[in-house]
Amino acid sequence: MSISAEDVKRIGELARLHLDTDEVEHLTSDLNAILQHVDSLRDLGLTELPEDSLQSGSKLAPDPQEAVEGPDKLRETPVDFAPEWQEGFFIVPAPPGVNPSEDQ
Amino acid sequence: MSIRDEVLSSSEILDVRGSAVRSLDHIKELEGGQESLNAFLAIADPEDLEPYDRGPLAGVMVALKDNICTKGLPTTCGSSMLKGYRSPYEATVVKKLRRAGGLIAGKTNLDEFGMGSSTENSAFGPTLNPVDRSLVPGGSSGGSAAAVAAGYVRIALGSDTGGSVRQPAAFCGVVGIKPTYGRVSRYGLIAFASSLDQIGTIGATVLEASLLLEIVSGHDARDSTSAQKPVPSYKDAVVEGVEGMVIGIPTEYFPEQLDPSVRALLDEACERLIDAGAEVRPVSLPHTEFAIPCYYVLATAEASSNLARYDGVRFGVRVPAEGLERMYEGTRGNFGTEVKRRIMLGTYVLSSGYYDAYYGTAQRTRASIAHDFKTAFSEVDVLFTPTSPTPAFPLGERVLDPVAMYLSDVFTVTANLAGIPGLSVPIGTVGGLPLGAQLLGPWWGENRIIAAAGALEASYQEDT
């Protein structure tokens, strides 16, 4: 796959990077060179994970198609999930074993 | 370096303090002069040295890569974006160092946000290699490796996302260890690619790098990816030897194009391991050739997400502008060329329509690379490879060619993709320049690679 200067400008907008004309030109050339190298991955034709990959020590993200959408906590009333506030911020309970005062 | 168990007496404390102050003055003099290596971005003031009277590092100077949050000193990540930034909290590894009696000498230079293999991508200028000042020290932990190689400190911390501890250690002729993912807390390490980042240690010797690793390792409730695994004595592992150890030589790490002088040094190191009692046999890691493209998809994807927080709202500099979008864009103009390039690549591979073609494929490749290692470690105890295809290269040689720069990491990125530990140990010189051999171990097998490195180091020391 190759990308055009227009693609680069659009990606720049998504990444909130202002790119001048020179930068667009250089990035178009650089990204195409990198993507040409990256395209070798597709030659592998991997469509599935190795059977025991999750026991290998490498933590892999779940396949996005398998992700299950849960209830959106932000649609609940904040007092239901974050009853305490301080200076306009939710107070999030410290994880087990963490004493926040040690960070002071 | 002192290794102590006892509490120091008052006179010893004064001696150690005097020595520490002299060390800092010496570093300041050298780094402030015309012969500066630009290894340090900040050096501690003697008045800021904390009281210490016990611990295995009592009074020992430690340098920290400047992406590790430290109270009392700026934490810049080598970026204009965080110029002068002071963290309100301290990384877990820094707390552990202080508890062990260590003294923070200063913060070392790095490629911006850890993105690079030469330390040329720092917003504060490149670090020079102390072995030959016309060469790069490697990267991205080039400042830490140079500080140890120059003798400013005996030990330093770096971070390793794709080889950033091991490759500069090899280029500067010192020892670098990247532990298993989860062995060392990342709390307070500023993120580049969270599933690949790991804090590592650099030392003048295998013992020093290993002792430092022992001190900073262990579970931390503040890092949900840190493992609840017991930490063995890495100090003891240094002298365990390799009698009966089976060492695998992955054929894919010794391509035909490998420089004959590099290959000759590696062959010699292998012979030394055999002489020390190890058995050597070939193994195959068939997905190795896909490691670099896989790494640069996943690392940039994670970087584009992690670096989205630098928008002028909460962290670092803000460039005032009319309207929020313009303020974001103006502020993010402070990123350097390589960081922008990686954010762009990461944003592209995560974008709609390309996600599975790039990111999904790279994740499956990553799992296959990890699977290769799992298979190999069912047959051998450790793997022996070059750390880098070449010794240190000249400043400026690869800075305009990103693909050539990325290929510097061809032998190191696999350990990060699989999450296994790796270590670089010096094995001599090519044309007067240090070369490193890499030892890779199974998950949580740091003691094995330390034992092999200790045996190699001892073998070379017998020559002198």
Place of tokens 């250089």: A26
E strand spans, B160-255: 175-178, 199-203, 246-250
Chain A residue numbers with beta carbons less than 8 Å from the beta carbon of B417 are: 58
Q: Which pLDDT score, from 0 to 100, does residue A60 have?
A: 43
Query: Confidence band (pLDDT; 50, 70, 90) for A47?
Result: confident
Answer whether A40 sits within 8 Å of B195, measured CB to CB: no
Q: Which of the residues B140, B141, B144, B210 is marked catalytic?
A: B140
Closest partner residue to A98 among B222, B287, B361, by Cβ?
B222
Query: What is the distance between the alpha carbons of residues B13 and B58, in angstroms, rounded to a whole number?
Result: 9
**Integer CA distances (angstroms), B195 to B188, B246, B295, in order:** 15, 30, 11
Q: Which pLDDT score, from 0 to 100, does residue B11 have?
A: 67
Query: Confidence band (pLDDT; 50, 70, 90) for A100?
Result: confident
Going residue by residue through chain B, which has 464 residues, state the pLDDT in tens, using 9 for 90 and above: 555 555 556 666 667 777 888 889 999 999 999 899 999 999 999 887 776 667 899 889 999 999 999 999 999 999 999 999 999 999 999 999 999 999 999 999 999 999 999 999 999 999 999 999 999 999 999 999 999 999 999 999 999 999 999 999 999 999 999 999 999 999 999 999 999 999 999 999 999 999 999 999 999 999 999 999 999 999 999 999 999 999 999 999 999 999 999 999 999 999 999 999 999 999 999 999 999 999 999 999 999 999 999 999 988 999 999 999 999 999 999 999 999 999 999 999 999 888 888 999 999 999 999 999 999 999 999 999 999 999 999 999 998 888 888 888 999 999 999 999 999 999 999 999 999 999 999 999 999 999 999 999 999 999 87
Q: Which pLDDT score, from 0 to 100, does residue B4 have?
A: 55
Answer whether A34 sits within 8 Å of B403, measured CB to CB: yes
Pairing of strands B175-178, B422-430: antiparallel
Rounded to two decimals, the pTM is: 0.92
Active site residue B71: no
Q: Which pLDDT score, from 0 to 100, does residue B299 have?
A: 97
How many other CB atoms sit within 10 Å of the CB of residue B150?
A: 21
Answer whether B222 sits within 8 Å of A41, measured CB to CB: no
Q: At B26, which helix (H) or strand (E)?
A: helix B10-32
Pairing of strands B199-203, B175-178: antiparallel
Answer whether B225 sits within 8 Å of A59, measured CB to CB: yes
Q: Which pLDDT score, from 0 to 100, does residue A84 have?
A: 82
Q: Which pLDDT score, from 0 to 100, does residue A62 have?
A: 42
Answer whether B344 sits within 8 Å of A17, measured CB to CB: yes
Give yes or no for a contact between B178 and B65, defined as CB atoms under 8 angstroms apart: no
Active site residue B164: yes
Active site residue B217: no
Give yes or no for a contact between B206 and B446, defined as CB atoms under 8 angstroms apart: no
Distance from CA of A11 to the nearest CA of B (A): 6
Q: At B235, which helix (H) or strand (E)?
A: helix B234-237
Among chain A residues, the shortest Cα distance to B353 is held by A1
> What are the structure tokens assigned to B450, written together?
């330390």
- Interface ipTM: 0.87
Distance from CA of B75 to the nearest CA of A (A): 17
Among chain B residues, the shortest Cα distance to A98 is held by B221
Q: Which pLDDT score, from 0 to 100, does residue A64 have?
A: 44
Q: Which pLDDT score, from 0 to 100, does residue B399 have?
A: 87
Answer whether A41 sits within 8 Å of B293, measured CB to CB: yes
Query: What is the distance between the alpha carbons of residues A70 and A79, in angstroms, rounded to a whole number?
Result: 19
Q: Which pLDDT score, from 0 to 100, does residue A67 have?
A: 54
Place of tokens 């001048």: A20
